[in-house]
Amino acid sequence: MTDITMPRLSDSMTEGTILTWLRADGDQVTEGDELVEIETDKATMTYESPVTGVLGIVTGAGETVPVGAVIARAGAEAVPAASAPSNGHEPEPVPVAIPARAAGGPAVTPVARRLAREHGVDLAAVTGSGPRGRITRADVAAAAGIAVPAPAAGVARPCPAAVAPAAPAAPAAPAAPAGETRDLTRIQQVIARRMSEANAAVPDFQVQTEVAMDRAVSLRAELKASGVGVVPSLNDFVVRASALALREHPVANGSFRDGRIELHGHINIGIAVAAEGALIVPTIHDADQLSVSEIATESRRLAERVRDGSVSPAELSNGTFTVSNLGMYGLTAIVPVINVPQAAILGVGAVRAVLARDESHEIVDRQLMTLTLSCDHRILYGADAARFLAAIKELLERPLRLML
Catalytic residue among 249, 266, 285, 377: 377
352, 360 Cβ separation under 8 angstroms: no
Cα(200)–Cα(29) distance, rounded to whole angstroms?
A: 45
Q: Is 377 a catalytic residue?
A: yes
Instruction: Report CA 158 to chain centroid distance, whole Å.
Output: 10
Q: Is 70 helix (H, G, I), strand (E, B) or coil?
A: strand
Query: Does 168 sit behind a cis peptide bond, omega within 30 degrees of 0 on the bond before it?
Result: yes
Cα(11)–Cα(76) distance, rounded to whole angstroms?
A: 33
Cα(149)–Cα(157) distance, rounded to whole angstroms?
A: 10
Q: List, as one string, the DSSP characters of 315-356.
A: GGS---EEEEE-GGGT-S---PPP-TTBSEEEEE---EEEEE
Query: What is the sign, positive or negative, of the torsion defined by CA atoms of 137, 139, 140, 146?
Result: positive
One-letter amino acid identity for 337?
V
Cα(317)–Cα(270) distance, rounded to whole angstroms?
A: 9
Pairing of strands 269-271, 273-275: unpaired
Pairing of strands 352-357, 278-280: unpaired
135-41-33 Cα angle (round to 5): 40
C-alpha pair distances (Å), 327 with each of 15, 42, 218, 330, 369: 33, 23, 18, 5, 9
Instruction: List active site positions.
Output: 377
